[in-house]
Amino acid sequence: MAITEVFTHNQPLGNSDPAHTAYGPGELTASTPAMTPLMLDATSGKLTVWDGAHAGAAMGILAVTADQNSAIPRFTVGTFIERVNASTSITLPLSL
């Protein structure tokens, strides 16, 4: 009997520059994949998925898949070489 292992390579950081993470209060309403741009909600002050409508509002990238967490881990700086999970309503390429 053979065991087949599927290896998925995930290297979100593309250089030797330091990557820093931080936690912030969040208001995600559904399961959100890692590498999704985040912004602060203007009313609640909590992290939510970047809507793409407010240029310059994205202030971090979700570090792990999260689902309605009260504290959201995010990358605050770093060089990212993998595709950022931007909303389909956002025209790519984009700069964060």
Task: Report the distance separating Cα 45 and Cα 43, nearest Å.
Answer: 6
| Domain total of the chain | 1
Q: Residue 43 is part of a domain; what is its CATH number?
A: 2.40.300.10
User: Is 29 within the bounds of a domain?
Assistant: yes
Name the residue type at position 72: I
- Write out the residue range of the structural domain in which residue 37 sits: 20-77
The secondary structure element, H or E, covering residue 79 is: none
Residue 7 lies in a domain: no
> Of residues 45 and 88, which shows the higher confidence score?
45
pLDDT tens-digit readout, 20-78: 788 899 999 888 888 888 999 989 999 999 888 877 788 888 888 888 778 888 887 76
1, part of any domain: no
Distances 87 to 11, 37, 64 between C-alpha atoms, Å: 21, 9, 17
In a domain, 87, yes or no: no
Does 12 fall in a domain? no
pLDDT of 81 above 60: no
